[in-house]
């Protein structure tokens, strides 16, 4: 017992002595490693062949006899060993159970009277519901390293937006007139790719099927892409497909925004001007 | 004024400052570890406390991966989207004080922002440009996340939440587009919402419910106003809370590559 305070050791020994019925000094000596541990007063019955004394064992462990027998049979079945002989066990059990039930002095149990014991039924492995795996990672304190960057980003963004807003006014055309559709009529810029598609395909295709399936495909990317690697060199196909669609959307949006004039016909923005409002 | 007097004033100020910072009221506001607290020193323990003893602990862990704070990794896009959302909320509340969602009053109120109201035009500009910028940053954030493969397990679901946020951002922008009630707003929204009408089975009904009729009318204005200032922000805040929470529960920022 490496460097344990004497009084703690003593308290522990006293408790152990009370539980096992041995003397305090004996246990204390054993704890300090002066004498080899004495054999336990009531050693559990060893594997004495297949004919084990069920009654004794049941009494020792405080387990109902029939449960113990069932466990033995199950174990024997699992191990492929012959079943424990019932011949020796059964009469002994019949003889031994009766006096216990009648209340005659039972054989000295290994567990003293009034002490409750727990049996370990099963070990449930602690699986966590969240990511608690901690791999050693190169980390820095959020303060100041991250917060400082965020604060600067916040200031820069606010500043840019404010200055831009001083010089560039948001568009406001004349009052809404439902009888006079402007030519061309364009959706907000982020829908202009779709509006561009609308000039090639049926509304059902350009307005519903393509954006609908596109959005669904986008949402399902993590479940479609089963490649576990995040290294760009391992993900050439995924990157290629995604880039293809992003570039397609960007080209269509640019085309719809700047290369479509009156009647949504093709124009060059540097020839006929820009038919586009933010 | 002589230098000596000036020094006296300065020392008096410093003394007062120290007195305030050691008061009970001050230390009740700034929890232990706050840099504003008396006797703050730059120790590893205090660096942890700055986050741990702060409402920011809901957003950030005490420590983050070193590569995650590199500007070139995230380009700050997610943070900028969130910050733009806050900025849009603030400017939007300002605009709500001067805006009535009826026809023709809506248009007149927007006009009055430019002529009658102090800072009215610049706040409206910030709201509009900020909204366009937010659509852009949310989209770019999505692209950034894709190229880092940051949607891979265990972050699959947070990607789906992110797509919902992109969709809600577009809807917020689109509903706000109608509110100035000018020719640009009305016709852009007409063109945009006509596309949704072709959806099979529910297209007509959804379109009818959304615009409050078969075409854009002044009734649509009130409907989209409520969607824009109350309903959609409410929904997006819920999704944002889940999004940020999942970022941390899924093990913080992804990578390194």
pLDDT greater at residue B86 or residue A127: B86
B115-164 tens-digit pLDDT: 999 999 999 999 999 999 999 999 999 999 999 999 999 999 999 999 99
Q: Would you say the C-alpha torsion A19, A23, A25, A27 has a positive or negative sign?
A: negative
For residue B226, what is the domain's CATH number? 1.20.810.10
CA end-to-end span of chain A, whole Å? 79
Whether B112 and B177 share a structural domain: yes
Which positions in chain B touch A194 (Cβ < 8 Å)? 195
Please give the Cα distance from A143 to B57 (Å, whole number): 11
Whether B33 and B106 share a structural domain: no
Instruction: Yes or no: say if A50 and A84 are a contact pair by the CB < 8 Å rule.
Output: yes
Specify if B3 maps to a domain.
no
Least confident of A98-112, A183-197, B59-73, B192-206: A98-112
Whether B108 and B144 share a structural domain: yes
B13-33 tens-digit pLDDT: 999 988 998 899 998 998 888
In chain B, the residue whose alpha carbon lies closest to the alpha carbon of A156 is: B80
Per-residue pLDDT band for A9 (boundaries 50, 70, 90) equals confident
Predicted pLDDT of residue A218: 95
Which residues make beta-bridge pairs with B65? A139
Whether B110 and B151 share a structural domain: yes
Asked if A170's CB is within 8 angstroms of B143's CB, the reply is no
Specify if B4 maps to a domain.
no
Q: Considering B9, B32, B57, which residue would you say is the last residue of a domain?
A: B57
Specify if B8 maps to a domain.
no
Whether B141 and B200 share a structural domain: yes
Residue B243 belongs to domain spanning: 73-249
Chain A to chain B, count of Cβ pairs less than 8 Å apart?
216
Query: Does the N-terminal peptide bond of residue B127 adopt cis geometry, omega within 30 degrees of 0?
Result: no
Residue A115 near chain B (CB below 8 Å): no
Q: Considering B31, B57, B83, which residue would you say is the last residue of a domain?
A: B57
Q: Give ipTM to 2 decimals.
A: 0.91
Predicted pLDDT of residue B24: 92
Residue B40 has pLDDT above 90, yes or no: no
Q: Is B134 exposed, middle or buried (0-12, 13-18, 19+ CB in 10 A)?
A: buried
Query: Per-domain residue ranges for chain A?
Result: 1-39, 54-101, 185-278
**DSSP output for chain A:** -TT--HHHHHHHHHHHHHHHT--HHHHHHHHTTSSPPPPPTTPPP---SS---HHHHHHHHT--HHHHHHHHHHHHHHHTPPPPPHHHHHHHHHHHHHHHHHTPPPP--SSPTT--------------SS--------EEEIIIIIHHHHHHHHHHHHHHHHHHHHHSPPP--SBP-TT---SS----GGGHHHHHHHTTS-HIIIIIIHHHHHHHHHHTHHHH-------GGG-HHHHHHHHHHHHHHHHHHHHHHHSB-GGG-B--HHHH------
Specify if B231 maps to a domain.
yes
Q: To the nearest whole angstrom, how far is the Cα of A259 from the nearest Cα of chain B?
A: 17
Nearest to B257 by CA among B72, B60, B61: B72
Q: To the nearest whole angstrom, how far is the Cα of A87 from the nearest Cα of chain B?
A: 59
Whether B178 and B97 share a structural domain: yes
Instruction: Yes or no: say if B236 and B164 are a contact pair by the CB < 8 Å rule.
Output: no
Asked if B47's CB is within 8 angstroms of A141's CB, the reply is yes
pLDDT greater at residue B216 or residue B179: B179
Specify if B114 maps to a domain.
yes
Whether B83 and B193 share a structural domain: yes
Specify if B66 maps to a domain.
no
Asked if A137's CB is within 8 angstroms of B83's CB, the reply is no
Give helix then strand counts, H and E, for chain B. 12, 1
Asked if A208's CB is within 8 angstroms of B203's CB, the reply is yes
Which positions in chain B touch A196 (Cβ < 8 Å)? none
Specify if B62 maps to a domain.
no
- Could you give the number of structural domains in chain B? 2
Specify if B9 maps to a domain.
no
Which positions in chain A touch B173 (Cβ < 8 Å)? 188, 190
């Amino acid at each position: 017992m490496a460097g344990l305070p004497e009084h703690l050791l003593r308290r522990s020994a006293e408790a152990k002595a009370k539980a096992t019925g041995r003397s305090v000094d004996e246990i204390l000596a054993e704890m300090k490693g002066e004498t080899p541990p004495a054999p336990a007063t009531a050693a559990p019955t060893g594997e004495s062949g297949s004919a084990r004394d069920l009654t004794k064992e049941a009494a020792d462990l405080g387990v109902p006899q029939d449960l113990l027998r069932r466990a033995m049979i199950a174990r024997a079945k699992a191990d492929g060993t012959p079943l424990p002989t019932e011949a020796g066990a059964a009469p002994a059990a019949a003889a031994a159970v009766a006096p216990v039930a009648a209340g005659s002095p039972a054989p000295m149990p290994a567990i003293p009277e009034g002490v409750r014991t727990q049996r370990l039924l099963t070990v449930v492995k602690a699986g966590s519901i969240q990511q608690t795996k901690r791999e050693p990672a190169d980390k820095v304190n959020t303060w100041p390293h991250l917060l400082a960057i965020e604060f600067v980003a916040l200031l820069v963004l606010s500043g840019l937006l404010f200055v831009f807003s001083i010089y560039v006014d948001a568009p406001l055309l004349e009052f809404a007139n439902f009888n006079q559709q402007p030519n061309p009529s364009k959706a907000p810029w982020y829908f202009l790719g779709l509006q561009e598609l609308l000039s090639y395909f049926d509304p059902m295709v350009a307005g519903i099927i393509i954006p609908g399936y596109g959005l669904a495909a986008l949402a399902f990317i993590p479940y479609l892409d089963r490649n576990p690697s995040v290294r760009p060199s391992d993900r050439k196909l995924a990157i290629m497909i995604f880039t293809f669609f992003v570039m397609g959307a960007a080209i269509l949006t640019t085309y719809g925004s700047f290369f479509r004039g009156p009647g949504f016909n093709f124009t060059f923005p540097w020839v006929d001007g820009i038919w586009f409002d933010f | 004024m002589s230098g000596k007097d000036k020094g006296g004033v300065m020392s008096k100020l410093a003394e007062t400052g120290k007195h305030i910072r050691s008061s009970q009221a001050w230390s009740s506001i700034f929890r232990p570890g706050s840099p504003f607290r008396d006797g703050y020193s730059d120790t590893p323990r205090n660096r942890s406390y700055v986050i741990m003893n702060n409402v920011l602990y809901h957003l950030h862990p005490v420590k983050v991966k070193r590569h995650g704070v590199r500007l070139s990794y995230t380009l700050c896009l997610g943070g900028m989207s969130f910050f733009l959302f806050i900025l849009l909320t603030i400017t939007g509340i300002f605009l709500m004080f001067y805006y009535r969602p009826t026809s023709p009053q809506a248009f007149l109120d927007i006009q009055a922002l430019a002529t009658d109201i102090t800072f009215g035009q610049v706040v409206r500009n910030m709201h509009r440009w900020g909204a366009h910028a937010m659509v852009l940053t949310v989209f770019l954030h999505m692209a950034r996340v894709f190229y880092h493969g940051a949607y891979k397990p265990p972050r699959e679901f947070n990607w789906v939440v992110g797509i919902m946020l992109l969709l809600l951002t577009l809807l917020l922008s689109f509903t706000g587009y109608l509110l100035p009630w000018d020719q640009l707003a009305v016709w852009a929204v007409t063109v945009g919402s006509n596309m949704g009408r072709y959806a099979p089975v529910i297209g007509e009904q959804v379109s009818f419910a959304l615009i409050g009729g078969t075409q854009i009318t002044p009734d649509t204005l009130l409907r989209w106003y409520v969607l824009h200032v109350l309903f959609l922000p409410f929904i997006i805040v819920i999704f944002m809370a889940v999004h940020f929470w999942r970022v941390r529960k899924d093990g913080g920022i992804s990578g390194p590559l």
